[in-house]
Structure formats: C-alpha cells, structure tokens
C-alpha cells in the first residue's frame, strides 16, 4: 500500500475544484441525508472539508474519509443549489476513484464490476439465471406496484418489496432493431439501460410502439450493457472506461440524430460523466464521446421538443385519471429537465397533481440503497407520504431506479398506487384513444 502522502498528493489534484466551496452551508437545506441525520459529515460541505483534509495529509488512514464519502446518494441536490457552483458530484466521483485506486476494490466489487458488469454478455447470463430462480426465494405481493418480497428472512433482500425481474429481458425479446426514418424525418438510437432491460422491458416495448406511431426511425444495437454508473459510484474508473469505450463502438455503426434513453440516470451519466471521467487513451474516442453525449436526450425531452405530440383534445373516450409526478434527481438537478415529463403526462390526457416536494430525492441512490437501506427507507417514506397525500392512483417518474424505490415504499405502506414511466402513460393514451 502506498503511503498517505502519495494519497494526499493525488487528492490535491482536486484542489482547484475544492477551493470553490466557500463553506456557506447552503447545501444543508437540500441534502436528503442531512435532513435525516443532521450530521455535517453527511452533507457536501462536510465531505468537501474532509477531502481538503485528506489533501493536507491530516489523517492516519483513508478509511474514515472513504466511509463518509460513500454515505451519499449522489443525487446532486447540493450541486444544483450551490451558490458557488461547486461541481460536487464530479468531485465525489473522482475522489471515490482516487480512494479505490489507492486502497484497491474489495474482492466482491472486483468480481461484480470487473468480471460481471463490464462484460454485458456475462452480466446478462447471470441476471437471467437470477430471473429464472427468483420465484424460489421470493413471492409476489399482489399489489398495484406488482412487487415481490423475500419468502424467508434474507439479509440480502431485507424487507424490500421489489419489482420482479422480467421473465424475458428486453434484449431477448428484441435483440436488435433498425427501422427506417418515417414521417418525422428523425432517426434515434436507444440506449436501453440495465434496469429497463431486465426489470421493465415494458418501457422499452412502449418506446418502440410510440416511435413507430410518430414515424421515428429507431436503432437499437445488439450487445448493450450498463452505462457505468454503478462501477463509478464504487470508484472503479477502469470498468467504467471499458463500458464507455464498448458503447462508443456500438453506436458508431449507425448514423442517427439523437441518442435517447428512458432512464434519467443513464442520460445523466452519458451526458455528464462519460465526457468528464472517461480516462481511456485511444486517440479519437474522447472526441466521439463528446459528440455522442451532446446528442443524448432524455426521452421526455426528446418527445416533447422534437416531435409534435398528438394533442390530448383529440382524445375520444375516457379521460385519464389524475397523476402525480416525481422528479428524478438525475433529470431535474443534473440536467434541468422538469417541464417535459409533465407535458408528456398532460399530453397523455391526465390531470397532473403536484405533490409536496416533487423534486425531493426518493432515497434510492443506487448502491446507497444497498448499503444504507435504513436511511434510504426513511427518505423514501417521506416521498411515499407526499405521493399518498395527492390521492392520485398513479405516480409517474422518468427513472426506473426511482420506480424501484417508490414501488418498495408504496408497497410497504399498502398504498393503492401504480408506478409508471411518463412514456408508458403516453403509450397507453395512444393505444386507448
């Protein structure tokens, strides 16, 4: 193991980004974790101070800082509200990578990221296996969220209620697709994303249907994998870089106007993190990443701004019921997309009922939910209460990870509320009118 001085040296690379924090403490007002714990080390200002301390070689070992740095949802609420414009998420991700590279990844994470996640084929093989056997360990809840829970007490599943893995993942149903440009004159490539592929293939199926309706050419290449955020959140820049390079190769085979995803987290990762964190050396890849991330769009944003939607006053038949909408952090705080999903919901013939704190984090935070399920649930319960208070029977949100967390929270509370992607509502509308 290297000495702390060399670690300090590496953290010092972040200094120019760290000094931007003026310690004003505004981040405390929006941090979902701080709201629960009131601890300074849980909020951005505290973590930035710790990184500053690490750079000044103030600690005997990096473990305490690492542990605190990992207690973060990476929701970016702090960054979105920071008066000084500190790029908190990028700093934290770089710092996690520096620490992981210094300490080495844990053996379990090495297997998960290096062997599984960074190789889409192996990853698919294991997730399909898990899909086949899930019924042995879990039972269906028979609720509007269509979740399952553990049959017996399980340390891994805890008391989670989760949407089941799909019997057939999306890429089994539609391994590849390349349809010609229709009346819209637009060609779009779809980045499916793991959760949609393996848990919510129905969303990707709806994408195909909606695009067909609007005459949008659709390109879905074979062999897609993960956008890389789980590896990055654990500091594994190598697996992340490998995944980015893999996808750049896949998507350069066809010409298209936009790369669209229906997952807020994938969109935000491709747009923000692919260009800033990729560390590959191959000449030209960096420029390709820049170009691809520039034409990447969230699906709500794409449909509302680039396609003329069928206006809802053309609806013949019953009007959709009231729907409330949750802003995924990776859409609103990271990308500033908040208007479009709402417009899509309204265009689908639904009345939109705003919940209290629609843009408050749901508490999922990817691996945060795995390691800190207790706090994650406390944050999620607040979201569930806001949803329930609207008395809507459907909550829509543009991120499949948020959908998992919100389904869990609603299932636990016994609320009779369905969880949908805005695109699903639009697809329903097109089918039913």
Partner 1 sequence: MKKKTIIDELKKIVGAENVLADNEDMVTYSYDAAVLDAVIPIAAVMPENSGELGKIVKLCSEYCLPMTVRGAGTNLSGGTIPHNSGVVILTGKLNAILEINEADMYAVVQPGVVTATLAAAVEKKGLFYPPDPGSQAVSTIGGNVAENAGGLRGLKYGVTKDYVMGVSFYDAHGEHVRSGSRTVKCATGYNLAGLMVGSEGTLGVMDEIVLKLIPLPKARKSMVAVYKTIEQASKTVAAIIADRIVPATLELLDNFTIRAVESYSKAGLPLDAGALLLIEVDGHPGQVEEDGLRVEELCREFGADSVKVATDENERDRIWAARRSALSALAKLKPTLVLEDATVPRSKIPAMVKSLQEISQKYDISIGTFGHAGDGNLHPTILTDKRNKEEWLRVEQAIEEIFDRALELGGTLSGEHGTGLAKAPFLEREVGRSSILFSRRLRKALDPNNILNPGKVTGAL
Range in contact with partner 1 (rule: CB under 8 A) among 35-43, 164-172, 270-278, 315-323? 35-43
CB of 45 or CB of 214, closer to partner 1: 45
Residue 293 CA, distance from chain mean position: 16
Range in contact with partner 1 (rule: CB under 8 A) among 47-55, 113-121, 305-313, 377-385? 47-55
Q: Does 28 participate in binding partner 1 (rule CB under 8 A)?
A: yes
Q: Does 19 participate in binding partner 1 (rule CB under 8 A)?
A: yes
Residue entry with tokens 């789980």: 230
List the one residue from 4, 8, 12, 53 that touches partner 1 (CB under 8 A): 53
Distance CA 118, CA 113 (A): 6
Range in contact with partner 1 (rule: CB under 8 A) among 60-68, 183-191, 198-206, 252-260? 60-68
Coil, strand or helix at 347: helix
Q: Does 38 participate in binding partner 1 (rule CB under 8 A)?
A: yes
Instruction: Tell me the helices (H) and strands (E) count for the chain, helix number first.
Output: 24, 11
Range in contact with partner 1 (rule: CB under 8 A) among 81-89, 117-125, 172-180, 268-276? 81-89
Distance CA 385, CA 66 (A): 33
Q: Does 46 participate in binding partner 1 (rule CB under 8 A)?
A: yes
CB of 87 or CB of 276, closer to partner 1: 87
Q: Is the dihedral of CA 324, 417, 401, 426 positive or negative?
A: negative
Residue 51 CA, distance from chain mean position: 25
Report in angstroms the alpha-carbon separations of 217 from 191, 303, 404, 411, 427.
14, 13, 30, 38, 17
What are the helix (H) ranges across 219-280? 229-233, 237-251, 264-268, 274-277
List the one residue from 7, 50, 355, 404 that touches partner 1 (CB under 8 A): 50
Please, what is the minimum distance in Å from the beta carbon of residue 298 to partner 1?
Answer: 23
Range in contact with partner 1 (rule: CB under 8 A) among 79-87, 207-215, 218-226, 248-256? 79-87
Please, what is the minimum distance in Å from the beta carbon of residue 360 to partner 1?
Answer: 14
Please, what is the minimum distance in Å from the beta carbon of residue 60 to partner 1?
Answer: 8
Distance CA 17, CA 398 (A): 30
Please, what is the minimum distance in Å from the beta carbon of residue 23 to partner 1?
Answer: 5
List the one residue from 4, 57, 68, 157 that touches partner 1 (CB under 8 A): 68
Q: Does 336 participate in binding partner 1 (rule CB under 8 A)?
A: no
Bridge partners of 149, per DSSP, are: 139
Please, what is the minimum distance in Å from the beta carbon of residue 137 to partner 1?
Answer: 33
Tell me phi and psi for residue 132, to 5 degrees: -70, -35
> Residues 277, 74: contact at Cβ < 8 Å?
no
Beta strand extents in 79-232 (DSSP E only): 138-140, 147-150, 162-163, 177-178, 187-190, 217-220
> Residues 335, 298: contact at Cβ < 8 Å?
yes
Q: Does 22 participate in binding partner 1 (rule CB under 8 A)?
A: yes
CB of 78 or CB of 194, closer to partner 1: 78
Per-residue DSSP letter, 167: S
400-413 vs 373-389: helix axis angle to the nearest 10?
80
> Residues 395, 323: contact at Cβ < 8 Å?
yes
Please, what is the minimum distance in Å from the beta carbon of residue 250 to partner 1?
Answer: 38
Please, what is the minimum distance in Å from the beta carbon of residue 432 to partner 1?
Answer: 37
List the one residue from 2, 84, 106, 305 that touches partner 1 (CB under 8 A): 84
Q: Does 59 participate in binding partner 1 (rule CB under 8 A)?
A: yes
List the one residue from 7, 14, 33, 41 that touches partner 1 (CB under 8 A): 41
DSSP-assigned letters across all residues of 27-40: GGGT-HHHHHH--G
Q: What angle do CA 312, 315, 317 make, to 5 degrees?
A: 145
Distance CA 429, CA 433 (A): 6
Tokens at 74, concatenated: 């990476």
Please, what is the minimum distance in Å from the beta carbon of residue 45 to partner 1?
Answer: 8
CB of 34 or CB of 368, closer to partner 1: 34
Task: Please name which of 305, 307, 302, 313 lies closest in space to residue 259, comparing C-alpha atoms.
Answer: 302
List the one residue from 1, 24, 111, 370 that touches partner 1 (CB under 8 A): 24
Q: What angle do CA 374, 377, 382 make, to 5 degrees?
A: 135
Please, what is the minimum distance in Å from the beta carbon of residue 166 to partner 1?
Answer: 40
Please, what is the minimum distance in Å from the beta carbon of residue 296 to partner 1?
Answer: 24
Please, what is the minimum distance in Å from the beta carbon of residue 109 to partner 1?
Answer: 22
Q: Does 80 participate in binding partner 1 (rule CB under 8 A)?
A: no
Which residues here bind partner 1, judged by CB under 8 A? 19-20, 22-26, 28-29, 38-41, 45-46, 49-50, 53, 58-60, 64-65, 68, 83-85
């Amino acid at each position: 193991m290297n000495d702390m001085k060399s670690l300090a040296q590496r953290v010092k690379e972040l200094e120019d980004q760290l000094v931007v924090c003026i310690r004003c403490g505004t981040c405390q007002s929006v941090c979902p974790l701080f709201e629960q714990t009131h601890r300074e080390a849980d909020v951005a200002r505290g973590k930035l101070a710790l990184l500053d301390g690490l750079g000044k070689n103030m600690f005997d070992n990096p473990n305490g800082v690492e542990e605190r740095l990992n207690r973060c949802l990476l929701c970016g609420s702090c960054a979105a509200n920071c008066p000084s414009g500190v790029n908190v998420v990028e700093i934290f991700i770089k710092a996690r990578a520096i620490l992981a590279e210094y300490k080495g990844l844990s053996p379990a994470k090495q297997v998960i990221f290096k062997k599984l996640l960074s190789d889409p084929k192996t990853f698919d093989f294991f997730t399909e296996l898990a899909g086949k056997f899930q019924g042995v360990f879990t039972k269906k809840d028979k609720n509007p969220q269509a979740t399952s829970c553990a049959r017996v007490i399980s340390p891994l599943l805890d008391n989670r209620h989760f949407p089941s893995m799909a019997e057939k993942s999306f890429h089994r149903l539609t391994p590849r697709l390349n349809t010609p440009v229709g009346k819209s004159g637009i060609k779009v490539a779809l980045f499916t994303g793991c959760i949609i592929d393996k848990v919510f293939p129905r969303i990707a199926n709806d994408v195909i249907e909606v695009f067909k309706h609007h005459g949008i050419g659709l390109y879905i290449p074979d062999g897609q994998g993960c956008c890389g955020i789980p590896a990055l959140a654990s500091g594994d820049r190598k697996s992340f870089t490998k995944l980015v390079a893999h996808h750049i190769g896949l998507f350069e085979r066809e010409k298209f106007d936009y790369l669209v995803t229906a997952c807020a987290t994938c969109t935000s990762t491709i747009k923000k993190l692919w260009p800033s964190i990729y560390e590959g050396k191959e000449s030209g890849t960096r420029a390709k990443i820049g170009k691809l991330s520039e034409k990447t769009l969230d699906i709500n944003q794409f449909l509302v701004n680039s396609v003329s939607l069928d206006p809802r006053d053309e609806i013949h038949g019953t009007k959709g019921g009231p729907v409330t909408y949750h802003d995924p952090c990776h859409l609103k705080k990271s990308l500033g997309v908040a208007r479009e999903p709402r417009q899509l919901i309204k265009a689908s013939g639904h009345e939109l009922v705003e919940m209290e704190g629609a843009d408050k984090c749901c508490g999922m935070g990817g691996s945060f939910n795995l390691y800190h399920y207790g706090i994650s649930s406390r944050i999620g319960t607040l979201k569930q209460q806001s949803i329930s208070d609207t008395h809507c029977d459907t909550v829509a949100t543009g991120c499949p990870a948020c959908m998992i967390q919100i389904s869990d929270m609603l299932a636990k509370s016994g609320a009779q509320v369905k969880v949908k992607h805005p695109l699903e509502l639009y697809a329903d509308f097109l089918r039913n009118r």
